[in-house]
Amino acid sequence: MNLGAFSVSLAVKDLVVSREFYEKLGFQKFAGDPEHGYVILKNETHTIGLFQGMFDGNILTFNPGWDSECNELEDFVDVREIQRQLKEKGVTLATEADECGTGPASFTLVDPDGNAILFDQHR
């Protein structure tokens, strides 16, 4: 099952301090807007999103339709198809995408240890 681009979304207390820390590890700003409380950092193929005041905990994020550089993929598995396959396997979802829709959609689930996982399709 191809899940799309992977990143870790971190809920941070201080965006500036966290950004400086990850820049020391070799990450550089790739996208985002500090004025809006978030910045996306990359180190080669590794992506970390830093989010201040947007959510409570850290989130594992998959973006169907994108590669690791956020380029749109011509061929990809739609988020609703991934959702359907997971439900068939007995995975319990926390939120669901409208299965009748098309285009952008998302759904979430929580792993056995309480880690949030977001499947977020932007197109």
Residue 18's pLDDT is: 98
Instruction: Determine the pLDDT at residue 87.
Output: 97
How much is the average pLDDT of 31-50? 96
Domains and CATH numbers, the chain: 5-121 (3.10.180.10)
* Beta strands at 116-121 and 105-110: parallel, antiparallel or unpaired: antiparallel
Residue 23: pLDDT band with limits 50, 70, 90? very high
Alpha helices for the chain (secondary structure H): 15-24, 79-88
pLDDT interval class at 2 (50, 70, 90):
confident
pLDDT the model gives residue 1? 81
Please say if the pLDDT value at position 34 is more than 90: yes
3 state DSSP class of 70: coil
pTM summary value: 0.88
**E-state strands within 13-112:** 28-33, 38-43, 46-52, 59-63, 93-95, 105-110
3-class DSSP state of 56:
coil
Measured in residues, the chain has a length of 123
pLDDT in tens, 50-63: 999 999 999 999 99
Helical spans, DSSP H, in 7-78: 15-24
pLDDT of 65-122, one tens digit each?
998 888 899 999 999 999 999 999 999 999 999 999 999 999 999 999 999 999 999 9
